[in-house]
Amino acid sequence: MRLTLNQDELDFRAMVDAWVQRNLPDDLREMVRVGEHLTRKEFSRWCRILDANGWSVPAWPTEYGGTGWSPLRRHLFEEQLLLSGAPRNTAAGIAMLGPILIAFGTQEQKDRYLPPIRRGETYWAQGFSEPGSGSDLATLRTSAVRDGAHFVVNGHKIWTSYAQSSEMMFALVRTNPDAKPQSGISFLLIDMASPGVKVRPIRMVDGGTDLNEVFLDDVRVPVENLIGEVDRGWDYAKHLLGFERTGIAGVAATKQQFARLKRLMEARSVSDALRRKAARAEIDLLAMDALILRTLTENPASRPGPEASMLKIQGTRVRQNVQRLLMELAGVEGLRHAEDPGEAVDRDLQWLAANYLDSRKVSIYGGTNEIQANVVAKAVLGL
């Protein structure tokens, strides 16, 4: 048991921080500082900068450009990037498709798709949810029917992040309508330039348009774009659930936002009531941070488990609370709207309302907190 990081870990963080200070472009830093909306353009740009230093895909195996760091070291790295003011680097290609390809893809698929993801050249959309299949994802109905050397895909995906600017989409599709829901699903890679793919952006409550509907109308997908075996896609997707058991709590992003709250509080006169609420939030964050580090260090050999769902539930609560406090701090300045920012005298506050609204998603995506609670009740508590 040790309260603080050891010297090696402290040196590592200092090294990462110094690197970010040298390599993060000023315009990106400013966008992150004020909470401005980032798009694929900025994310890919930052990914390329990281890649030039061998840091864009730290969790991947070293043969595909990963770092070989322990989960604890990766955690420290990802946290330090954000604390140093950098954007996140959690594109779906890096965080989701990469691990699946590495675990279940053919050598040819890995060689073809992994390097351009690592270099920030190709962007991937995740095609899982459908209008009728959200929490109950296994009921998804987008169909893929084998026709010679192709699958013919028909259906309708929704909440597809960055589909309008992605070259590719990985999707769950139904290949066997007669099997049990989970057993008839396959994992396909779909070229977004294929005939029959139509993308319609969805305007979100914060004014953002990252999410889309994707309509698939007789889209022909080569059979070599199937991952693993047909009808086994659900198992492959589940592989992701425990992959980054600690990242899902989003503690690094919350720390970044809490630092922003403290910075803004210092520059303004704020009520004692807000100060007390911020102190309470700080304790929640301390506890959450310690719980993540406990998960990483108490028994480093243990496999990811359903306990990760508790980290997600609590992590998103803490995150949303900090965003709520930022909104309280804004007071009447909260009236500013990111969609029509104008030429504000003080750019610090103009994105707070949009950031607050956007933060409501974290308890919804990646499995709603209610679904996570169901998982914990069953698999952890034995109810």
Q: How far is the CB of 164 from another protein (least distance, A)?
A: 36
User: What b-and-e string marks burial along 215-243, b requiring 16 or more CB atoms within 10 Å of the CB?
Assistant: bbeebbbeeebbbbebbbbbebbeebbeb
Catalytically annotated residue among 244, 298, 339, 343? 244
Which residues, including other chains, have CB under 8 Å from residue 56's CB and lie 6 or more apart?
47, 48, 50, 65, 89, 94, 118, 119, 120
Please state, in angstroms and rounded to a whole number, the distance separating the CA atoms of residues 297 and 292: 9
3-state DSSP assignment of residue 146: strand
Q: How far is the CB of 297 from another protein (least distance, A)?
A: 5
3-state DSSP assignment of residue 133: strand
Rg of the chain over all Cα atoms, to the nearest angstrom: 21
Q: How far is the CB of 111 from another protein (least distance, A)?
A: 39
Pairing label, strands 124-127, 168-174 = parallel
Q: How far is the CB of 317 from another protein (least distance, A)?
A: 9
Q: How far is the CB of 129 from another protein (least distance, A)?
A: 22
Sequence letter at residue 136? D
Q: Which C-beta is closer to another protein: that of 106 or that of 271?
A: 271
Residue among 264, 282, 290, 275 at smallest CA distance from 350: 264
Query: Considering Cα of 116, then 119, then 122, then 123, what sign does the dihedral take?
Result: positive
User: What b-and-e string marks burial along 311-322, b requiring 16 or more CB atoms within 10 Å of the CB?
Assistant: bbbbbbbbbbbb
Residue among 237, 212, 231, 189 at smallest CA distance from 130: 212
Please state, in angstroms and rounded to a whole number, the distance separating the CA atoms of residues 261 and 283: 14
Q: What count of other Cβ atoms lies within 10 Å of the Cβ of residue 269?
A: 5
Q: Are 165 and 123 in contact (CB under 8 A)?
A: yes
Q: Which C-beta is closer to another protein: that of 205 or that of 283?
A: 283
244 is catalytic: yes
Q: Which C-beta is closer to another protein: that of 203 or that of 294?
A: 294
3-state DSSP assignment of residue 216: strand
Q: Which residues contact another protein by CB under 8 A?
A: 1-6, 275-276, 279-280, 282-284, 286-288, 290-291, 293-294, 297-300, 310, 313-314, 370, 373-374, 376-377, 380-383
3-state DSSP assignment of residue 121: coil
Q: Which C-beta is closer to another protein: that of 145 or that of 373?
A: 373
Q: How far is the CB of 370 from another protein (least distance, A)?
A: 7
What's phi and psi for 314, nearest 5 deg? -70, -40
Q: What count of other Cβ atoms lies within 10 Å of the Cβ of residue 301?
A: 4
Active site residues: 244
